[in-house]
Amino acid sequence: MNCYNHPEITAVGNCKACSKGVCSDCATDLGHGLACKGKHEQRVEDLEMIISKNVKAFADASKNQFLLPAFFFFMGLVFVGFALYQGEGFASFPVVMGFGFLLFGLIFLIRNRKIFS
Ligand SMILES: [Zn+2]
Ligand SMILES: [Zn+2]
């Protein structure tokens, strides 16, 4: 592969932003990749920042995957438990609310397990 700007010179790599081949005169080495000199340095830095933030966000989301289902299960058990303790029937509003919470907790739990397993 040759440099996009200098077809007679062999490229040292590709710009991370536009993927064009760049020779040592046309490339800026940013440490984590090459960029077109004077053109794509900021773009490549932005891409690197987005990727590293996403890696961190995904790691945090993986750690927190049980938090939302746990909240729904807690709310569901509080509604159902309190209503039954108060002597309300299964068709009462708080019991239906509670089972709604339990259902959504289960759905979130299954969905999160699929994403992070
Ligand atoms: Zn470029
Ligand atoms: Zn060049």
Q: If you measure from the C-alpha of residue 18 to the centroid of ligand 1, how many angstroms do you get, rounded to a whole number? A: 4
Residue type, 8: E
Residue 5 lies in a domain: no
Considering the entire predicted model, what is its pTM?
0.65
What pLDDT tens digit does each residue of the chain (117 aa) get?
999 999 999 999 999 999 999 999 999 999 999 999 999 999 999 999 999 999 999 999 888 899 999 999 999 999 999 999 999 888 899 999 999 999 999 999 999 999 888
Residue 57 lies in a domain: yes
Q: If you measure from the C-alpha of residue 31 to the centroid of ligand 2, how many angstroms do you get, rounded to a whole number? A: 19
The tokens for 37 are: 């000199």
DSSP letter, residue 66: T
Looking at 25, 43, 62, the residue that finishes a domain is: 62
Structural domain harbouring 103: 64-116
Q: Are 8 and 23 a contacting pair, CB within 8 Å?
A: no
Residues 25 and 55 in one domain: yes
Give the ligand whose atoms come closest to the C-alpha of residue 38. 1
The pLDDT assigned to 44 comes to: 97
Residue 70 lies in a domain: yes
Residues 85 and 41 in one domain: no
Residues 69 and 109 in one domain: yes
Question: How many domains are there within the chain?
Answer: 2
